[in-house]
Amino acid sequence: MLPYTPYSEILEKIKSGEVSLVARVENFLERIEKKKHLNAFNFIFEDAIEKAREIEAKIHSGSAGKLAGMVIAVKDVLSVKDKPTTCSSNILKNFKAIYTTTAVKKLIEEDAIIIGKTNCDEFAMGSSNENSAFGPVLNPHDNTRVPGGSSGGSAVAVAAGLCDASLGTDTGGSIRQPAAFCGVLGLKPTYGRVSRYGLTAFASSFDSIGPFANTIEDIASVLEVISGHDENDSTSSRLPVPKFSEELTFPKDRSKSSENMKIGIAEEYFGEGLKAEIKDNINQIINWLKNNEFQIVPIHLPHNEYTIAAYYVLTTAEASSNLARYDGTRYGFRAPEASSLIDMYKSSRSQAFGSEVKRRIMLGTYVLSSGYYDAYYRKAQKVRRFIKEDFDKAFNEVDVILTPTSPTTAFKIDEKSSDPLQMYLSDIYTTSANLAGIPGINIPIGKDSSGLPVGMQLLANQFEEEKLLRVSAFIQNNYLRSLK
């Protein structure tokens, strides 16, 4: 099931001259053109070939960085200086960034090649990548189905072989859920592990930048580079960054080995609404983990049922505040026929924002309004604290928690567009991690009877990504490679 080669092995072939980096980049560009019907990219950076020539010379001279020549796509909510940053919205249709996102800058400094900007739900608001001014992204496994959202373009770019890795953003599951739908790895780091500077905000206390890839080695390598404190982001952590790329095996010390690894299973994630085939796949891997001496521990997360409600109250409130800056005054689209300042605000926002963004702005304004602030926003903040406390208690008992990533596999395009509530419930297993600020990863563990990828989620306590990486690597190298 995993015929993929970690980029570190490809780099060795580039060093030896067996593989040409320039030819690799040219091949990716050809594949992007061939697969353009998937609509994964909003913009392609043609200067990638020239970058490849420069970096290949550095590789052969021994002066290249950690990610030398790794071809990476970035979600179109991450700024790259002098390149378009539209957030897949008409309100930023012709906007070009004046600086580069810290996470992307760190990739470039380690000689990664940024090949383009990927399609996404407008301002990262959606679970299907159907809410884009550039049109929907198609699932590479079945073009009649969605890739998941909001980072659908980044997931598809990796799944379809259009790049080595990609960056997405995760506000309530927008890395993990599309990773599950597209059959790739996708990691949401701890809130604060990766600087948000240069990320166009949806909900500032929830947003996280993280990687997609086909191998856990590549996930670890990219995460290691993009993590760390940033003076431009007051919420970024000052904790030292582990060498994630060296944390992929269990130590020989038995006290830290897989035999003492406790994996929590919360009954709240396996109730009504979970597709039977997904449950069966996950039960199969739980039994396999038991047979490999992992300890399976039942746990309880009593406030889990309130996660979707709390998430949408809080994120829409933050979105209504963050998106107030897009008013046609300083940058972005301005309605040409406006007769007054107020009319310009209304016309610009009405014409350029999509329906989902408008819906969330209105919801957010409502829950923050006089008379409803205490009833909704303040209460949701209390629930958020309870959810965090549930996880704190659980991680006193277990090392990681294993759950489904999504209740279903990829659904049909337009299947849920007319029912926002059903669309929002696609994130029922992922939003809790953002509410608690903990890291999570999607691992592809098989396919259903329709040939669609099935995903499984692992969650760990704050700043314990190395636990996720070790367990994921163990599953990848000992379970997934055995699947036919």
Q: What residues does each domain of the chain span?
A: 7-253+411-416+429-482
Token pair recorded at residue 197 = 């500077």
User: Helix H segments across 79-151?
Assistant: 102-109
Close Cβ partners of 174 (under 8 Å, ≥ 6 residues apart): 121, 124, 127, 149, 150, 151, 168
- Known catalytic residue: 150? yes
**Pairwise CA distance, residues 277 & 270, whole Å:** 12
Q: Catalogue the E-assigned strands of 254-369.
A: 262-266, 295-299
| Strand 262-266 with 295-299, pairing | parallel
Angle at which helix 7-16 crosses helix 48-61, to 10 degrees, equals: 70
How does DSSP assign 229-283, residue by residue?
A: --TT-TTS--SPPP-GGG-SS--SSGGGSGGG-EEEEEGGGSSTTS-HHHHHHHH
Beta bridge partners of 402: 265, 458
> Residue 254 burial (CB < 10 Å; 0-12/13-18/19+)?
exposed
What is the model's pLDDT at position 198?
Answer: 98
At the fourth CATH level, the homologous superfamily of domain 7-253+411-416+429-482 is: Amidase signature (AS) domain (3.90.1300.10)
Q: Quick check: 107 and 342 in contact, CB under 8 A?
A: no
**Pairwise CA distance, residues 401 & 286, whole Å:** 11
Q: What is the DSSP letter of 482?
A: G
Tens of pLDDT, residue by residue over 154-175, are 999 999 999 999 999 999 999 9
- Known catalytic residue: 174? yes
Close Cβ partners of 290 (under 8 Å, ≥ 6 residues apart): 296
To which H or E segment does residue 307 belong?
A: helix 307-322
- Known catalytic residue: 258? no
What is the model's pLDDT at position 331?
Answer: 87
What is the model's pLDDT at position 1?
Answer: 47
What is the model's pLDDT at position 421?
Answer: 85
Catalytic annotation, pick one of 174, 236, 245, 432:
174
CA distances from 339 to 265, 325, 327, 332, 335 (A): 59, 20, 15, 18, 10
Catalytic annotation, pick one of 75, 83, 117, 467:
75
Q: What's the average pLDDT block by block, 10 residues per block, for the chain (484 residues)?
A: 83 97 98 98 97 98 97 98 98 96 98 98 97 98 98 98 98 98 98 98 98 98 98 98 93 61 96 95 96 96 96 98 93 89 94 96 96 95 98 98 98 93 92 98 96 98 98 92 66
What is the model's pLDDT at position 418?
Answer: 87
What is the model's pLDDT at position 484?
Answer: 52
Catalytic annotation, pick one of 89, 150, 166, 347:
150
Question: What is the side-by-side order of every strand in the sheet holding 453-460?
Answer: 41-44, 113-118, 71-75, 165-170, 208-213, 185-188, 440-447, 453-460, 400-404, 262-266, 295-299
**Pairwise CA distance, residues 138 & 42, whole Å:** 13
Give the global pTM. 0.96
Q: Quick check: 69 and 163 in contact, CB under 8 A?
A: no
Close Cβ partners of 382 (under 8 Å, ≥ 6 residues apart): none
